[in-house]
Structure 1
Amino acid sequence: MLGFSCRVFVLSVLLASTSGLAQDRRHVSEPGLPVSVCVTLTSSAQSKDDTQRLQDSINHCQPGAAVRLIAGAAGTGFVSGPLIMKSGVTLWLDRDAVLAATTNPLAYDNDGRCGTLDHKGNGCRPLILFNGTRGGGIVGEGIIDGQGGQPMIGHNETWWQLARRAQTEGSKQNIPRLIQIDHAHDITFYKVTLRNAPNFHMAMNAVQGATFWGVRIDTPAGARNTDGIDPGASQDVTIAHSFIRTGDDNVAIKAGSAGATRYISLIDNHFYWGHGLSIGSETVGGVSDVLVQGLTLDGTTSGLRIKSDASRGGLVSNVSFEHVCLRNNRRPIDFDTHYDAKAQGSKIPVFRDIVLRDVTGASGDLVMRGYDDTHQLSIMLDGVRFAPDAHWKIEFTEIQTGPGGVRPALLGKSQSAEVYAGCVGSWVTFPGS
């Protein structure tokens, strides 16, 4: 164990559930498809660049209506550079419709750096931008393909190869995100598939109200920095009934200097390869009121993860993980206040009021690591069951238990009456696999 410094409190009764508060404050139900369409566009083999007609259609569409994309002849699709969404306008991709991101770095360029490495990064615009919008979103059973694995026009490598080279050379890559949502309100994503993003699939900053329902995110495990959905400095966000496999965090809830992230719900989702469900690593703005309920993590490197360090830490509190199934994870539980062991600074991360209830996993390392004796990690375990060969690694952590107990046993704690059974019947194959 990691210098075991664990304070144990066995409770005879379960503490009051925090999940009544730790969630999206809106009443969220399954969205529907638009009832009003302002224009319908059909893909064509003759069109090599659809950016202008797509942007013109968005610009002329009235709030409350949709730009509808439908598939033409087999093998055709829409090819586009950056698009800017308009308040109240929805992009509707019919089944079999494909919107492919151009692989030309010049199309995304901000200042001559897109498609290059340097020490700045952020040299590219995203494929789709929501900036200061209210309402609207992207819906339908079609596909947005970032083409991250295709060679860049004018280059001899792909976006993903550029990202990997940045890692080996200690540089920063200038690569476009697939979708960026900034300072927006009440955005909806429904049933759409996002795949092969060059960088993050969905990045959010200062968003008030967002719903992701039935979304599929599908990108290879080796594609660097291809996070699935990243809420940052945002409030009232629900991610539900979605399927995510990607090359980095499946979901990463962040709070940097732009402000707090809180009132987040993740309900009945399925994660596959990726780095797991993460909070952090930026937590300086504070993350709170998070409810995770009904989640499977099948093959993620980490499972339930909270990560930060002294260079970017803050308070993470009131987080509930309920009815979670894990398997094939290196670190099914990975709560670490020393994410970067070399980090220095005074922004000490504090994780408290964390609840794990009915969490079942297989083998692997179960890490709970507070910062120091003054900044303990505070957690409650209730019905937490792992395989007998799972290993607890605990440091500077105060643990409480509910009546469901915990397995494998911890020092001074009663075991769960239930043994590890592997969550039989909970596993779902990625749709279309």
Structure 2
Amino acid sequence: MESEKGGFGAAVVANFMRPSWAVLFLMFALITFVSLQLPAMTVFPLSVLSSSTNPGVSENHRSCSDYFRGVHGRKFVMSIKDFGGIGDGKTSNTEAFRSAVRYMQRFGDKGGSQLNIPQGKWLTGSFNLTSNFTLFLEEGAVILGSQDPKEWPIIEPLPSYGRGRERLGGRHISLIHGHGLHNVVITGQNGIVDGQGKMWWDLWWNRTLEHTRGHLLELINSDNVLVSNLTFQNSPFWTIHPVYCSNVVIKGMTILAPLNAPNTDGIDPDSSSNVCIEDNYIESGDDLVAIKSGWDQYGITMARPSTNIIVRRVSGTTPTCSGVGIGSEMSGGISNITIEDLHVWNSAAGVRIKSDNGRGGYVANVTISGLRMERVKIPIKFSRGSNDHPDDGWDPKAVPKFKGILISNVISVNSTKAPVLEGIKDASYEGLCFRNITLLGIATSGTWHCEYVSGFASEVFPVPCPELSSNGTSSWCSPS
């Protein structure tokens, strides 16, 4: 990873053009420097989680304790070795993992169970989890994804997508999978889950992929889930995918993929509610975090929104995509999203809202604040025109609605372009607000590019496009 503090002082001298921002900018620089001194991973004890049954932000607004109802220690604890597992990195442990979970399922209503993965390299194909269950990777434990595609079976497409995201028909199951579960914890002592995704990326690059690639972790229709204190790397496709889930916390994770690995999103909450993603470090070949809710007519029909989602203290880099993306599959609706303290560098975009004709749905009540960027091409982007649809049944008249989007307290150093806000013709945009934004390094000829949008801007540099009136007529967008 390139040092984030290098060149910061020079950037201030060379590019700083608004002296009134000096103190604020130096504060951001100091925060950046201090954050680099912190360990990338910290053990995340379950004891910090509240047992509250009312999901929501905790009283201090700085943790997601109320999103996960804490679990007590599991009564039955066993090791993968108890089921014949061999951690030599060569022997297949697929049947050992599957047998272990089948056996431990019987303890779900008897105090729950925990499967420990000790130090070693444990090669396996896909396996399912069970309820009231903890998968615990000890220090030095590595779960390796099988290189045999047959050990990633084909399952039905998600109903909100109507087909596999990449190919028609079914899709490969995730390496670690669960459906209809509750009270699930996936954690450990900084153990590793490695999907060994290069085989799958080669199939994609060579155009020989027959079915949509599998995720590293996918949980469907599940509730009360904690994923913490592990490294997930080299996923074949999106890395962590909670879909139709509720009360999910993903915290203290390191997620890694080569920066050219295709579609290796970090964390993709999809048609899910009460999700907290915080204190994670991500390097990816796609969005670090992408919030989704179904694809065109299938997502519209299912109408399962993503709502009450917090993304906080996430940092990382992606050369082709964004720190946080909303969409483009957002046909079931996306609302009540809070994104704060996001740190992105050497990336294509900071935050990006993506949609298109045919998507329908809505994006409403989104608050983005505390965004820090270095060497990010387009700090803020609204985009359209992806022109990807599941089949010919999509409705070109189904346009999305956007309402109540606030982006504030943003600093970007060595930006390449001013924000690009490409709206969609005939789509409605209400309550767009841009406040307290400074983008440094853009050429003097660089200007905001806006189409089919309107809103308000206050204390924004460089000067925003005329479509964002700054005449103070919108009190809700004025500085408090």
What TM-score do the two structures reach when normalised by structure 2?
0.71
2:315 is equivalent to residue 270 of structure 1: yes
Structure-1 residue corresponding to 2:37: none
CA deviation map 1:293-330 (0-9, x unaligned): 11101122121010010122321010000111112222
2:411 is equivalent to residue 364 of structure 1: no
How far apart, in 1, do the equivalents of 2:291 and 2:254 lie?
A: 18
2:121 is equivalent to residue 77 of structure 1: yes
Shift in alpha-carbon separation, 1:287–1:322, aligned structure 2, 3 A = same
Aligned with residue 38 of structure 1, among 77, 88, 91:
77
Counterpart contact for 2:128–2:177, Cα < 8 Å: yes
Structure-2 residue corresponding to 1:401: 457
Aligned with residue 227 of structure 2, among 172, 179, 189:
189
Shift in alpha-carbon separation, 1:47–1:283, aligned structure 2, 3 A = closer
How far apart, in 2, do the equivalents of 1:286 and 1:174 lie?
A: 24
Counterpart contact for 2:87–2:123, Cα < 8 Å: no
2:349 is equivalent to residue 302 of structure 1: yes
Aligned with residue 216 of structure 2, among 170, 175, 178:
178
SS state at 1:351 partner: strand
2:426 is equivalent to residue 385 of structure 1: no
How far apart, in 2, do the equivalents of 1:139 and 1:34 lie?
A: 14
How far apart, in 2, do the equivalents of 1:67 and 1:119 lie?
A: 34
How far apart, in 2, do the equivalents of 1:318 and 1:301 lie?
A: 25
Aligned residue runs from structure 1 range 29-428, under 5 A: 29=65, 35-36=73-74, 38-41=77-80, 43-45=86-88, 48-61=91-104, 62-63=107-108, 64-71=112-119, 76-110=120-154, 119-120=167-168, 122-140=170-188, 141-149=190-198, 158-166=199-207, 173-256=211-294, 257=299, 258=302, 259-273=304-318, 275-276=321-322, 277-340=324-387, 345-362=396-413, 363-365=415-417, 366-372=419-425, 375-376=428-429, 378-387=431-440, 389=442, 391-402=447-458, 405-410=459-464, 411=466, 413=470
Q: Which structure: greater helix fraction?
A: 2
SS state at 1:231 partner: coil
SS state at 1:346 partner: coil
With 79-88 and 298-307 compared, the bigger mean Cα shift is at: 298-307
SS state at 2:424 partner: coil
Counterpart contact for 1:318–1:354, Cα < 8 Å: yes
Counterpart contact for 1:282–1:313, Cα < 8 Å: no
SS state at 1:60 partner: helix
Q: Which amino acid aligns with 2:364?
A: S
Higher relative contact order (CA 8 A, sep 6+): 1
With 172-181 and 301-310 compared, the bigger mean Cα shift is at: 172-181
Shift in alpha-carbon separation, 1:172–1:102, aligned structure 2, 3 A = closer
Q: Per-residue deviation at 1:118?
A: 9.3
Q: Per-residue deviation at 1:46?
A: 8.6
Q: Per-residue deviation at 1:57?
A: 2.1
Query: Moved runs in structure 1, 4+ residues, more than 4 A?
Result: 30-34, 341-344
Identity fraction in percent: 24
Counterpart contact for 1:87–1:136, Cα < 8 Å: yes
Q: Which amino acid aligns with 1:364?
A: T
Counterpart contact for 1:371–1:396, Cα < 8 Å: yes
With 196-205 and 288-297 compared, the bigger mean Cα shift is at: 196-205
CA deviation map 1:241-270 (0-9, x unaligned): 001111112111011114111100011111
Which blocks of at least 5 consecutive residues in structure 2 are unaligned? 1-54, 59-63, 156-164, 473-480
How far apart, in 2, do the equivalents of 1:92 and 1:228 lie?
A: 21
How far apart, in 1, do the equivalents of 2:433 and 2:132 lie?
A: 42
Shift in alpha-carbon separation, 1:119–1:205, aligned structure 2, 3 A = closer
How far apart, in 2, do the equivalents of 1:231 and 1:172 lie?
A: 25
Counterpart contact for 1:66–1:90, Cα < 8 Å: yes
Shift in alpha-carbon separation, 1:295–1:374, aligned structure 2, 3 A = closer
Q: Which amino acid aligns with 1:392?
A: W
SS state at 2:259 partner: coil
Q: Which amino acid aligns with 1:234?
A: S
Shift in alpha-carbon separation, 1:118–1:373, aligned structure 2, 3 A = closer
How far apart, in 1, do the equivalents of 2:219 and 2:407 lie?
A: 31
Q: Per-residue deviation at 1:47?
A: 6.4
Counterpart contact for 1:406–1:414, Cα < 8 Å: no
Q: Per-residue deviation at 1:224?
A: 0.8
How far apart, in 2, do the equivalents of 1:47 and 1:406 lie?
A: 56
Q: Which amino acid aligns with 2:96?
A: R
Counterpart contact for 1:255–1:282, Cα < 8 Å: yes
What TM-score do the two structures reach when normalised by structure 1?
0.79
